[in-house]
């Protein structure tokens, strides 16, 4: 029996992706406003840009988005550790990390990666069926 990608799963992907991208963008804006030219600032710039991209791909319901969210969360954990070592505490940076952890848990508890793979296979089968006919 094939599992259907329901409207509930679509809403989880869309809203989690949008809110995650907004949180990552807020972290990025804060980083650009309060840091100066330092190698750590440039590294964190790429980490938060990657986070924005990962959450946008989740909102677009791409098959590889859950893996990118996990990578983004791990990078966010490392960046929060570096920031706290320097003595700078930011609520939005900690929130970005905790949101990534929560979304990873929700995605895998709801088996959304499985649904995304099934949806991609169905789209691929439909494309193959129409390929010779058009």
How much is the pTM? 0.86
45-71 per-residue burial string, b: 16 or more CB within 10 A, e: under 16? eebbebbbebbbbbbebbbebbebbbe
Q: Quick count: other Cβ atoms within 10 Å of Cβ 122?
A: 13
Tens-digit pLDDT string for the chain (134 aa): 456 778 888 999 999 999 999 999 998 898 888 877 777 788 888 999 999 999 999 999 999 999 999 999 999 999 899 888 888 788 998 999 999 999 999 999 998 988 888 888 888 888 888 887 76
Torsions phi, psi for 38 (to 5 deg): -150, 150
């Amino acid at each position: 029996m094939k599992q259907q990608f329901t409207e509930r799963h679509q809403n989880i992907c869309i809203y989690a992706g949008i809110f995650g991208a907004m949180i990552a963008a807020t972290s990025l804006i804060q980083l650009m406003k309060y840091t100066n030219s330092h190698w750590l600032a440039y590294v964190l710039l790429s980490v938060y840009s990657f986070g924005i991209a990962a959450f946008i791909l989740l909102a677009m319901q791409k098959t590889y988005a859950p893996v990118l969210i996990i990578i983004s969360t791990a990078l966010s954990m490392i960046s929060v550790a570096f920031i706290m070592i320097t003595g700078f505490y930011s609520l939005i940076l900690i929130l970005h990390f905790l949101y990534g952890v929560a979304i990873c848990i929700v995605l895998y508890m709801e088996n959304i990666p499985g649904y995304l793979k099934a949806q991609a296979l169905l789209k691929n089968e439909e494309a193959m069926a129409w390929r010779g006919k058009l």
